[in-house]
């Protein structure tokens, strides 16, 4: 069973970061493998193990921060990784542009299954995996919290609002977006990290995928025209002082509100 997993390096903005000229400073960003994608990688490795054969290929679109993230996915048990390297100014590619680049790689890989995370922790679009499935014309299910192979098809549970779950069957090849809690992502060990560095990692450019600069510029379906601080950061009345004062204040608010 060949499984492609799309992995994003997501950015967290430093607590004290401020916008300069309406832009975020690179030095205020900390990059990590997107939380949801850890669950997707784990699901892929588990499905491959259950099938007894196969390959897990990681695909990621991004800049300098990607290689280290790919290494940690390989250390979790993925077999191979492809980095679609985009120039720095293209790092703000929107979800549709990213999906088109991912689709170009995955169309060549022809996996049985494509796994993405439900959403990314930085922009929370919750859209790339489904856009990708649409471009590849693959049957797809979003927000999956359980997946097993049964008679050559997948039985999945789709998690709806309010804790309602829908059970579905979907035939392969297919694409799923994976929800947190579906499994327990394994930790990389020193040994697995050492092994990971021997695994195959390739880098491709958009041009090599058939997108020259003009085509790349035309990919996004949206543009971030401006970034700003929220108009009101907080509506809260802040309680100052040490823990004892805070506790005393909380105590009196609770007492006043709960008759």
Ligand X SMILES: Cc1cc2nc3c(=O)[nH]c(=O)nc-3n(C[C@H](O)[C@H](O)[C@H](O)COP(=O)(O)OP(=O)(O)OC[C@H]3O[C@@H](n4cnc5c(N)ncnc54)[C@H](O)[C@@H]3O)c2cc1C
Match 């790349």 to its residue by tokens: 216
Q: State the residues that interact with ligand X by CB under 6 A.
A: 118-119, 126, 143
Distance CA 182, CA 198 (A): 29
12 binds, among ligand AMP, ligand X, other proteins, none (CB under 5 to 8 A by kind): other proteins
Phi/psi of residue 58, nearest 5 degrees: -95, 140
Q: Which of 77, 111, 117, 206 binds ligand AMP (CB under 6 A)?
A: 117
The entry of other proteins, ligand AMP, ligand X, none near residue 114 (CB within 5 to 8 angstroms by kind) is: none
d(CA 4, CA 106): 7
Residues from 154 through 183 that contact other proteins (CB under 8 A): 155, 157-171, 174, 177, 180-181
Cβ atoms of 75 and 67 within 8 Å: the answer is no
Of 1, 7, 70, 174, the residue at the interface with ligand AMP (CB under 6 A) is: 7
Secondary structure class of 196 (helix, strand, coil): helix
Q: Does 126 bind ligand AMP (CB under 6 A)?
A: yes
The footprint of ligand AMP on residues 29-48 (CB under 6 A) is 34, 36-37, 40
Both tokens of 78, joined, read 């993925």
Q: Does 135 bind ligand AMP (CB under 6 A)?
A: no
215 belongs to the binding site for other proteins (CB under 8 A): no
**CA angle 223-228-229, nearest 5°?**
145
Q: What's the rounded Cα separation, in Å, for the pair 84 and 209?
A: 9
Site for ligand AMP in 8-27 (CB under 6 A): 8
Q: Is 133 helix (H, G, I), strand (E, B) or coil?
A: helix
List contacts with ligand AMP (CB under 6 A): 6-8, 34, 36-37, 40, 60-62, 95, 98, 102, 116-117, 119-120, 123-129
């Amino acid at each position: 069973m060949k499984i492609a997993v799309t992995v994003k390096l997501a950015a967290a903005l430093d607590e004290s970061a401020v916008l300069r000229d309406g832009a975020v400073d690179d030095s205020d960003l900390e990059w990590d493998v997107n939380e949801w994608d850890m669950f997707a990688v784990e699901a892929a490795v588990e499905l491959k193990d259950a099938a007894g054969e196969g390959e897990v290929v990681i695909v990621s679109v991004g800049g300098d921060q990607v290689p280290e993230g790919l290494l940690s996915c390989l250390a979790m048990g993925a077999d191979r990784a492809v980095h679609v390297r985009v120039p720095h100014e293209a790092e703000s590619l929107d979800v549709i542009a990213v999906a088109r680049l991912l689709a170009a790689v995955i169309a060549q890989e022809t996996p049985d299954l494509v796994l993405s995370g439900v959403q990314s922790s930085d922009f929370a679009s919750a859209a790339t995996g489904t856009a990708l499935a649409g471009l590849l014309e693959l049957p797809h299910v979003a927000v999956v919290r359980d997946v097993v192979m049964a008679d050559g098809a997948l039985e999945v549970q789709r998690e709806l609002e309010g804790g309602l779950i829908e059970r579905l069957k979907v035939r392969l090849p297919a694409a799923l977006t994976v929800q947190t809690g579906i499994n327990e992502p394994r930790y990389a060990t020193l040994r697995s990290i050492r092994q990971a560095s021997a695994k195959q990692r390739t880098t491709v450019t958009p041009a090599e995928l058939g997108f020259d600069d003009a085509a790349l510029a035309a990919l996004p379906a949206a543009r971030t025209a401006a970034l700003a601080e929220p108009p009101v950061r907080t509506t809260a009345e802040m309680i100052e002082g040490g823990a004892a004062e805070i506790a005393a204040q909380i105590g009196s608010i609770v007492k006043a509100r709960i008759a």
